[in-house]
Amino acid sequence: MPDVATTTKPRCPCCGQIHRLARCFYVFPELAPEDFKEREHIRAKVKEALLDPKLLKEVESLRRRRGSN
């Protein structure tokens, strides 16, 4: 039986979708394709998730790194 830890895909801690935080269109809208349409219930989930200081700090760190590239 495969190890679950190696077969599960990463879930975004902000929106809950299957991608890494650094690729979240809700957190980094500049990454979204032109035709991307936000869903209100996911936006609300992201807004609530970003109240967590630890998660907000991680997002800010990713923004700084992205800006320096």
pLDDT single digits (tens) 17-66: 999 999 999 999 999 999 999 999 999 999 999 999 999 999 999 999 98
Instruction: Give the separation between CA 49 and CA 40, rounded to whole angstroms.
Output: 14
At 9 the pLDDT is 85
Instruction: Give the separation between CA 17 and CA 10, rounded to whole angstroms.
Output: 8
At 37 the pLDDT is 97
Task: Break the chain into its structural domains and give their ranges.
Answer: 4-67
- pLDDT grade, residue 67 (50/70/90)? confident
Is pTM, for the whole model, over 0.85?
Answer: no
Q: Residue 68 pLDDT > 90, yes or no?
A: no
* Residue 28 structure tokens: 């980094």
